[in-house]
Structure formats: structure tokens, C-alpha cells
Amino acid sequence: MKTEQNDKFPPFKVICRIGTGILVSVLFVLLIQGSNSWCSFMEVFDVTQVNIQGNTILTDYEILQIANIQLDTCIKFLDLASIQRQLETNPYIRAAAVSLDFPSNVNILISERVPICYISHKDLFLVDAEGIVLPMPKQSLGTNLPVISGFESDSLDYFPGYYIPNESVQEIIQVISGTLNAAPELYSEISEIRHWNDNNFILYTVKSGTPIYLGNKSLPEQLNILANFQTRLNGKRHLSDYQYLDLRWNKQIVAKERRS
């Protein structure tokens, strides 16, 4: 049977537990404050280097500007999730991963969107295989990419970081992406694919600008026929060796030799 004294005063063990809890909390707060002061005083955890990997289009400087990581900032104050989100706001960055390499290094791993062609629409844009509009980079890409033209009067607006709003252009991008994967040699020969009246297409080669009339038939099928024709040339001749090629006829390619 409990006594009145026991009801008024908790057991000694309970008092010890409460005291221990308070002591641990106080020590934790002091530890945090002490570590902050020690970090600031010793500068051991100040950022001294940011390692960037995976970028081929954006420069290290551009990525550092986007990430906004200041050197000499205490590494444990960095919000990695916020830095990652900030990086992924750039149209060229498909995904980013940010990690710490103690005591003073930050690692940034970038997965970039790779442009596969240009779009001539009021201004000149780049676009990746998914149809995402990309702005012109500050530095040269160092490679020739096909240009999709004939949609300059399109009233729709194209915004970097967003999908191409024109479904017809989206379909052409898918065809170009398929050609890049299935017939890379033909892809490398394409300078421009121009859309004109009644859904007709003309292709121009990189070298000599040879016009290749594809007509208004299925664009994937026409490019497949052209790729097979290129294969039959067996490297002895090139598409640019012709004055023009015409694929608008059924089951045949009309070719005019280029005069020497």
C-alpha cells in the first residue's frame, strides 16, 4: 500500500532520469554551439575545392555560378538538396548529385541533356532527343548538327527547358533521333531538313549542300530508303557527290550526277 510520502515525492530513479535527460540536452546544445565556433575558428571544414564531373557542354565556371557554392563557407552549413534543385533548373542539366568529401571538398556529378539538332524558329534553338528546348551554349559544341527549318512562322512560343509545343516538329525530332541511333552515317551527312508546302521535306547534305527531295511520304521510310542507298554506295561515293537526289518516285531514286 502506497504511503502519502511516496505519492508526494517521485522515486529517486525517476529524478535521475529527468536530470540525465536535461543534462544530455544541454550538452547537445553546447556541442552544436561549440562545433560551430570551432568550425569557424579552425577553418578545417571551409570549402576549398568543388569537383565537377559529367559536364561537356556547360563549363565548370557556369556550374559553379548556378550552384552558388562560395569557397571558405563551412561545409556543414551547405544545403545539398537545395543546391541540387538549383542545378536542375538549368535546361542542360537533366540530373545532378551533390555530395561532401570531408573535410573540405564538395563533389558535383552532372548528367547533361545532349542536343541532337537545331530548330530554326524566330531564333535558333537546340533540342535533345526528348524534344526539350535548349538555349544556345556560350561555347561551341564542336560538332555539326542538323537544322530543322520551315517552321519560322509557327505562332507557338518555344521556351528553353520545356518540350517543343509543335507536334509536327516533335515527330521530326523523333525521326532524327531514330536516324542517329539506326543510321549514324546518314545522320552525320544531314545539314538541314526543311519542311515546306503540303508536308513535303527537302534534305540538304553537310558537304556541297546537295538537295535530296523526300516528298510528302513517310519521313522515317524515306530516310530508311536513303540510308540503304548510302550503304549500297559502299563508301566509293557520297551523297554529296550528286547534284541532287529525288525520292519522290515509287520504288526508285532519281539521281543526277554532279558535273566535274
Packing angle, helices 167-182 and 219-233, rounded to 10: 30
Most confident of 80-89, 150-159, 231-240: 80-89
Per-residue pLDDT of 122-167, as tens digits, reads 889 999 999 999 999 988 888 899 999 998 878 888 999 999 999 9
Q: Give the whole-number percent of the chain exceeding pLDDT 90.
A: 61
- Residue 193: phi and psi, rounded to 5, are -120, 115
Residue 61 structural domain: 49-112
Residue 121 shares a structural domain with residue 245: yes
pLDDT score at 38: 55
Residue 253 shares a structural domain with residue 152: yes
> What integer is the mean pLDDT of 96-124?
94
Residue 100 shares a structural domain with residue 182: no
Residue 60 shares a structural domain with residue 155: no
Residue 135 shares a structural domain with residue 147: yes
Q: How confident is the model at residue 1 (pLDDT cuts 50, 70, 90)?
A: very low
Q: Where are the beta strands (DSSP E) in 66-219?
A: 93-101, 105-112, 115-121, 123-128, 133-134, 147-149, 190-196, 200-205, 211-215
pTM for this one? Answer: 0.78
Residue 56 shares a structural domain with residue 182: no
Pick the more confident residue, 94 or 196: 94
Residue 130 shares a structural domain with residue 84: no
pLDDT score at 193: 96
Strand bridging mode 147-149 / 115-121? parallel
Map grid coordinates 542545378 to a residue: 87
Domain count, the chain: 2
148, 120 contact by CB (below 8 A): yes
Q: Could you give the CA distance from residue 24 to residue 118 in angstroms, rounded to a whole number? A: 62
Whether residue 14 lies inside any domain: the answer is: no
The residue from 86, 112, 138 where one domain ends is: 112
**CATH classification at residue 84:** 3.10.20.310
Residue 89 shares a structural domain with residue 157: no
Per-residue pLDDT of 6-51, as tens digits, reads 555 456 555 666 656 676 665 665 666 655 555 555 577 888 899 9
Residue 103 shares a structural domain with residue 206: no
The residue from 61, 96, 112 where one domain ends is: 112
Smallest CA-to-CA distance from 158 within 131, 177, 176 is with 131
